[in-house]
Structure 1
Amino acid sequence: MTTATSGYMMKLQLLVIETEYCWRKALLRMVLDHKPTNLHSDYGSFDRALPHNREGNDRDIEAAVDGSTSGMAQTSDIYQRQPLLPGAPINKTKERWGSGVGSGGGGVGTSSDYYDDDDDNNNDNNKMDNDNHSRQCIQNGSGIVKIDIPVPLREEPRFPKEKWKTFLACLFMAFNFILTTTSLAMLHERVPDRAVYGPLPDIVLDNVEAQDWALSVSEVLIVVSSNAAMIFIIFHKHRFIIMRRIFILMGLLYMMRSITFYVTVMPMSSKTYFCSPKLNHTTPLIIAKRVIQLISGFGLAINGKHTYCGDFIFSGHTTILVLCYLIIKEYSPKRCKPIHWLAGITAFVGVVMVLISHGHYTIDVIIAYWVTTRLWFIYHTMANNPILKLHGPNNFLARLWWFPLFKYFEKNVGGVVPRQYEWPLPWPRKFLAKHPNRDS
Structure 2
Amino acid sequence: MALVDPTASHLDPGMDGESGVLASVFGVLPNANCPKHGQNTPEDTKRCLRKVIGHHRDYVKISLPDAKGNRLPTEWWKTAIAFFYAIFNLVLTTVVITVVHERVPEKENSPPLPDKFFDYIDRVKWAFTVTEINGMLLVGIWVIQWLFLRYKSIAGRRFFFLIGTLYLYRCVTMYITTLPVPGNHFTCAPKLYGDSHAKMQRVLTLISGGGLSITGSHLMCGDFLYSGHTVMLTLTYLFIKEYSPRTFWWYHLMCWLLAAVGVALRCSPNNYLTNTWWNPVFNFFERNVQTQVPCSFCWPITWPPACLKNSCKKYSAVQSLREE
Please say whether Structure 1 and Structure 2 have the same fold, judged by a TM-score greater than 0.5.
yes
SS in 1 for 2:225: coil
Taking the aligned partners of 1:163 and 1:127, their CA distance within structure 2 comes to 47
Flag the 1:324–1:122 CA change in 2: closer, same or farther, 3 A.
same
Q: Which has the larger radius of gyration?
A: 1
Residue 123 (structure 1) shift: 7.3
- 8 Å CA contact 2:178–2:222 kept in 1: the answer is yes
Taking the aligned partners of 1:308 and 1:195, their CA distance within structure 2 comes to 17
Residue 396 (structure 1) shift: 3.1
Larger RCO (CA under 8 A, 6+ residues apart): 2
Matched, 1:42 2:21: no
Match of 1:400 among 276, 286, 300: 276
Taking the aligned partners of 1:269 and 1:116, their CA distance within structure 2 comes to 89
- 8 Å CA contact 2:79–2:156 kept in 1: the answer is yes
* Aligned positions, number: 272
The equivalent residue for 1:75 is none
Match of 1:161 among 56, 74, 77: 74
Residue 155 (structure 1) shift: 6.2
Taking the aligned partners of 1:120 and 1:318, their CA distance within structure 2 comes to 71
The equivalent residue for 1:82 is 16
- 8 Å CA contact 2:127–2:266 kept in 1: the answer is yes
Flag the 1:278–1:86 CA change in 2: closer, same or farther, 3 A.
same
- 8 Å CA contact 2:19–2:46 kept in 1: the answer is no
Residue 236 (structure 1) shift: 1.1
- 8 Å CA contact 2:19–2:45 kept in 1: the answer is no
Taking the aligned partners of 1:117 and 1:333, their CA distance within structure 2 comes to 55
Residue 172 (structure 1) shift: 0.6
Structure 2 unmatched ranges of 5 or more: 1-10, 23-37, 57-64, 307-324
The equivalent residue for 1:220 is 133
Matched, 1:424 2:269: no
Residue 124 (structure 1) shift: 2.6
The equivalent residue for 1:300 is 212
Which sits farther off after the overlay, 228-237 or 177-186?
A: 228-237
SS in 2 for 1:190: coil
The equivalent residue for 1:289 is 201
Q: What is the letter of the counterpart of residue 124 of structure 1?
A: R
Taking the aligned partners of 2:93 and 2:210, their CA distance within structure 1 comes to 12
With the length of structure 1 as denominator, give the TM-score of the two structures.
Answer: 0.56
Structure 1 residues 99-248: aligned runs within 5 Å? 114=40, 121=47, 124=50, 154=67, 158-248=71-161
With the length of structure 2 as denominator, give the TM-score of the two structures.
Answer: 0.75
CA RMSD of aligned residues (A): 3.0
Taking the aligned partners of 1:86 and 1:267, their CA distance within structure 2 comes to 81
Match of 1:313 among 190, 214, 225: 225
SS in 1 for 2:189: coil
The equivalent residue for 1:267 is 180
Flag the 1:305–1:126 CA change in 2: closer, same or farther, 3 A.
farther
Matched, 1:348 2:260: yes
Residue 290 (structure 1) shift: 1.5
Structure 1 unmatched ranges of 5 or more: 1-39, 44-80, 89-111, 131-151, 357-387, 389-393, 431-440
Aligned-residue sequence identity (percent) comes to 36
Q: Structure 1: which 4+ aligned runs deviate by more than 4 Å?
A: 115-120, 125-128
Taking the aligned partners of 2:46 and 2:305, their CA distance within structure 1 comes to 57
Matched, 1:336 2:210: no
- 8 Å CA contact 1:158–1:412 kept in 2: the answer is yes
Residue 87 (structure 1) shift: 9.4
